[in-house]
Amino acid sequence: MLKKALKILRENRLALFLILVGSGIWSATMVKSGLIYDYGMGFWGPNGHDGIWHIALIKSLAKGSWEIPVFAGETLKNYHVGYDLLLAWFSKLTGINPITLYFQIFPPILALGIGILTYKFVLEWRGSKAQAIWATFFVYFGGSFGWIVNLIRTGEFGGESMFWAQQAISTLINPPFALSLALILCGLIFLTKFLKSQKPLNLILCVLFFGVLIQIKVYAGVLVLGGLGVSVAYHLFKEKKTDLVWVFLGSLALSLVLFLPLNKGSEGLIVFKPLWFLESMMGLPDRVGWERFYSAMTNWRLGNIWTKAAPAYLVAFAIFWFGNLGTRAIKGLLIFRWLKQPEKLGWIEIFFVVVIIAGVGIPMFFLQKGTPWNTIQFFYYSLFFSGILAGVALPEIFEKMRLKTILIHIIIVIVVLLTIPTTIGTLQHYLPARPPSMISKGELEALEFLSQQPSGTILTYPFDSDKAKEAEANPPRPLYLYESTAYVSAFTDQSVFLEDQVNLDITGYLWRERRNNVEAFLKSTNLEYVREFLRENNITYIYWVRGQRALIGEVQLGLTKIFENQEVEIFRVTSF
């Protein structure tokens, strides 16, 4: 499949150029992170938190451990580990450092793969090079209209997530999402082949690609299974054929086998909270921030004045929908034509519509405990498929309206100029020489030393959000003053007693009691209590940045200093 796709691209230099440029721009959000600079190791954008979490998981999985590395003693649960397993396996196979794989090697591969697969899929589905090129353009560069609001407010481009959703430029900072897109496209390509040829191999491959999605990105698995289920019913009713049934049942069975063992009780992570995204979008100053509108709509709802509340929420939804779609809203013309001629729709059109509707519908009603905005990731798939449909729609508009060449060129320029500002505005966050977060050379030396020690549980100082806020004005901030991250476990390849409270929230661990116990240990003057704390929790090492310590001295605690530099002290628990 890849060889055929590359041959097609060689015959279409414009498509090849677009894919290379798009991949380069996407990769710019990742490849600078994880490298050593004069101040230490830098991390741009959310890589200082999300990337560190994945590296910790990759290293833990590479050891063959299913322990969650940031909550020592507990098994990993409620998390899609497929991408991290893939990189763990690749690291073991090649010996390449997971940091290099995560930041410098896999991002360009994923970026190229998504572009090539998008082009190939649309070309096979529609048979139009123009539609395939435009679909690829929107997949790489699709952006919101948040830049318009930001331009009016500040005079600068930006506002990527003004309406809550990340846009195309940020695809690679969420690598499981990026991999899920590649797998979905592979599944659709092989499903199309299977329906034409009925070859068992194509059936097996599309079931494999769709089935593993649930462990790559659970949001993708839910949407694809839902889209397949409705498509199966439609195909069975219209064509009286059962071939799609086997695809759906096989994908569902594989998904359940992969999902259930690691996600028992995960249903408790989702809560019913209708319209939260609309209300927060209108109310928060870092989103739309239209306070008067927010106050009016929420007061009308609370007062059950639905004659006013309903129109207000519909307006808010329209702002959310069209604000996020940006120029991809032109796909609405294609959807309108489908609705006028429903008898011509096939399973694939039904699949697209179901995924798009479900992708926007689920976050409108459900949130995730701990980190409520996580469910917005369902909507990322609505934007991705809307981008493909926008690419299909635009050449059709040119063709059906029989526009003059000069007018077509003008429209193309307008569409491109209205689309790319989001990419330009967001890319500016990844291009500055100094990033928002880093690990200093002193800490890197200490972490490397600890990675060479026998396995054990590390106790670190609890994340201090107040001190982190004070340090905001002086980037790059050390990770311990940036966010609660997994950096000690990620760079020592050891288990940490308590770290990365953000992901512990997302995955449903009850970490607050453990934090309270750590704080009590640090403040206690009861020698028997503090020694029992270390003993009961099997603490082997203590990692403290300068200025961090307990009230009781290290000798009384039974600690032996095994490392010291200007920034870090490391102790081993040796006696009581």
Q: What angle do CA 228, 232, 233 make, to 5 degrees?
A: 125
Task: Give 285's contacts (C-beta < 8 A, 6+ positions apart).
Answer: none
Query: 3-class DSSP state for residue 456?
Result: coil
d(CA 234, CA 86): 35
pLDDT at 166: 95
- Whether residue 482 contacts residue 469, with contact meaning beta carbons closer than 8 Å, is answered with no
Is the pLDDT at 156 greater than 80, yes or no?
yes
Model confidence at 186, pLDDT cuts 50, 70, 90, reads: very high
Tell me which residue of 376, 73, 72, 69 sits closest to 84, measured CA to CA: 69
d(CA 247, CA 190): 11
Tell me the C-alpha to C-alpha distance, in Å, between residue 96 and each of 20, 131, 455, 555.
25, 39, 21, 40
Tokens of 515: 């934090």
145 phi and psi angles, rounded to 5 deg: -95, 15
End-to-end Cα separation, the chain, in angstroms:
63
| Radius of gyration for the alpha carbons in the chain, expressed in angstroms and rounded | 26
Query: How does pLDDT run across 270-312, given as a tens digit for each residue?
Result: 889 999 999 999 999 989 999 999 999 999 999 999 999 999 9
For the chain, the domains span 2-30+80-276+322-427, 438-573
User: Which residues, in sequence order, are bridge partners of residue 413?
Assistant: none
568 phi and psi angles, rounded to 5 deg: -135, 145
User: What letter would DSSP give residue 65?
Assistant: -
pLDDT at 432: 85
Tokens of 152: 């009016």
Tell me which residue of 567, 515, 555, 558 sits closest to 540, measured CA to CA: 558
d(CA 118, CA 132): 7
- Whether residue 262 contacts residue 77, with contact meaning beta carbons closer than 8 Å, is answered with yes
pLDDT at 1: 62
- Residue 329, amino acid: A
Tell me the C-alpha to C-alpha distance, in Å, between residue 303 and each of 300, 313, 317.
5, 14, 20
pLDDT at 479: 96
Burial of 272: CB neighbours in 10 Å, binned 0-12, 13-18, 19+: exposed
pLDDT at 532: 93
Tell me which residue of 336, 352, 362, 414 sits closest to 387, measured CA to CA: 352
Is the pLDDT at 576 greater than 70, yes or no?
no
Is the pLDDT at 202 greater than 70, yes or no?
yes
The pairing of strands 559-564 and 568-573 is antiparallel
User: What letter would DSSP give residue 101?
Assistant: I
What is the full DSSP assignment across 534-559? HHHTTEEEEEEETT---SS-HHHHTE
Is the pLDDT at 6 greater than 70, yes or no?
no
Query: How does pLDDT run across 227-278, given as a tens digit for each residue?
Result: 999 999 998 888 788 888 999 999 999 999 998 887 766 666 788 999 999 9
Tell me which residue of 380, 475, 468 sits closest to 163, measured CA to CA: 380
Residue 159 vs residue 108, higher pLDDT: 108
